[in-house]
Amino acid sequence: MKISQSETEKEVEPRERINSIKTDLYDGTNEAHQPTNICNENEATGDTDKVKDTDNASSASTVEVLDDKVLLMSQSSVISREGLCPAVGLTLYEPQLSVSNNAAARSKSSRMPAQPIKLYYLPPSPPCRSVMLLAKVLGLELDLELTNILEGQHMTPEYLKMNPQHTIPTMDDNGFILWESRAILSYLVNAYGRDDSLYPKNPRLRAVVDARLNFDLGTLYLRYFNLYIPMLFRGEEYDEEQAAKFDEALGWLNTMLDGKAFVAGDNMTIADISIVVTLSNIHAFGYDYSAHENVVNWFDRMKKTLEPYDYEEIDETGAEILASFLKKD
């Protein structure tokens, strides 16, 4: 996955400015239970055979598709780039996303994009991280466009024409524009999946994955949002009432995992990838979810499953950036 991005580095402004644009950073939920502009979320699905690790190689590769044939062009590594994270008011260094050798993964499908998929994103954004993780699993090449909302890059005429909701992540796949992270997840599997294991074609299996995605967007992520966004972006105190509601949602997730290895069945789907970024956040925040044994075991399983796909660089690093902001003051 060869990654490039634009450079944006400006002086960070006060927390009040950050608060005024918080709904453009987190995607998909707000305190009024309406989808807002944050790093976007929607609906998707997936299930069946277990995802196999075809990318666990130490070398990196540049792959190019010509006339539906995969050509391995050269060995290369990804260079980290420095950029401003407007979401948390920190100068951050993009994780060095070591590019695993995706030739084996790509050779299993000729349905690869003619050019790298452009993703407008912010590294700490949970929805953005879910899309980046899935791209790694699928062996897709992303052209990462760091979108500095503090500088209004999401409010330019060009961006608004592309995405009138001015949210991230936003995807541009050779002129096909899509936002809402869960919609992007389902599209990528439908368009470029090696099989349907991440988003099954079987109507009943897909319905379960869709149900988990809707639970994530409308309940789990929403309650996480209501608990932590006031603390992250307004400096408010920990709200015990909101914490109880969030813990209730974790309890429901725990029940859903009874007798299952993953949230929709016996193998990882895009529902797991969508939900894991929220768990990564609360783990970094120090939230105690140990009472939910199934959730604890599932989270450990997900970290191991995603380890070959740069889980630490993409997801843990982004969660730690948010956690460092939470611990200020």
Q: What is the pLDDT of residue 27?
A: 58
Find all residues with CB under 8 Å of 225, minimum gap 6, and list them. 26, 29, 30, 31, 38
Tell whether the model's pLDDT for residue 219 goes beyond 80.
yes
DSSP structure string for 152-181: TTTSSHHHHHH-TT--SSEEEETTEEEESH
Q: How many CB atoms lie within 10 A of CB 34?
A: 10
Structure tokens at 281: 């956040």
Could you tell me what percent of the chain has a pLDDT over 70? 65
- 158-182: average pLDDT: 94
- 245-260: average pLDDT: 98
pLDDT category at 185 given cuts 50, 70, 90 is: very high
Q: What is the pLDDT of residue 76?
A: 24
Nearest to 126 by CA among 202, 50, 228: 228
Strands 117-121, 170-173: pairing is antiparallel
3-state SS string over 252-267? HHHHHCCCCCECCECC
DSSP state of 65: E
Tell whether the model's pLDDT for residue 122 goes beyond 50.
yes
3-state SS string over 75-139? ECCCCCCEEEECCCCEEEECCCCCCCCCHHHHHCCCCCCCCCEEEEECCCCHHHHHHHHHHHHHC
Q: Is the peptide bond before 169 cis (omega within 30 degrees of 0)?
A: yes
pLDDT category at 100 given cuts 50, 70, 90 is: very low
Distance of alpha carbon 246 from alpha carbon 40, whole angstroms: 19
- Beta-bridged to residue 173, according to DSSP, are 176
Residue 128's identity, in one-letter code, is C
What's the burial of 291, exposed, middle or buried (CB within 10 Å: 0-12/13-18/19+)?
exposed
Indicate yes or no: pTM above 0.85: no
Question: Among 35-44, 105-114, 152-161, 239-248, which range has the highest average pLDDT?
Answer: 239-248
- 77-105: average pLDDT: 34
Q: What is the pLDDT of residue 25?
A: 53
pLDDT category at 328 given cuts 50, 70, 90 is: low
Structure tokens at 273: 């990838």
Domains identified in the chain and CATH numbers: 1-329 (1.20.1050.10)
- 3-state secondary structure (DSSP) of residue 42: coil
Task: Tell me the per-residue pLDDT of 277-297, one tens digit each, with 9 for 90 and over.
Answer: 999 999 999 999 999 999 999
20 is catalytic: no
- 3-state secondary structure (DSSP) of residue 329: coil
- 237-250: average pLDDT: 97
Tell whether the model's pLDDT for residue 191 goes beyond 70.
yes
- 20-47: average pLDDT: 41
Triad 93, 238, 291: Cα angle to 5°: 90
Q: What is the pLDDT of residue 97?
A: 40
Calculate the dihedral angle through the C-alpha atoms of 140, 185, 35, 300, rounding to the nearest 10 degrees.
-100
Tell whether the model's pLDDT for residue 263 goes beyond 70.
yes
Q: What is the pLDDT of residue 300?
A: 98
- 144-170: average pLDDT: 89
Distance of alpha carbon 241 from alpha carbon 222, whole angstroms: 14
Question: Among 27-31, 33-37, 233-237, which range has the highest average pLDDT?
Answer: 233-237
Tell whether the model's pLDDT for residue 91 goes beyond 80.
no
- Beta-bridged to residue 265, according to DSSP, are 262
Q: Can you say whether the dihedral through the CA atoms of 32, 37, 171, 306 is positive or negative?
A: negative
pLDDT, the chain, mean: 75
More confident residue, 327 or 156: 156
Tell whether the model's pLDDT for residue 169 goes beyond 80.
yes
Q: Of 61, 100, 125, 186, which is the active-site residue?
A: 125
Lowest pLDDT segment from 67-71, 112-116, 130-134, 203-207: 67-71
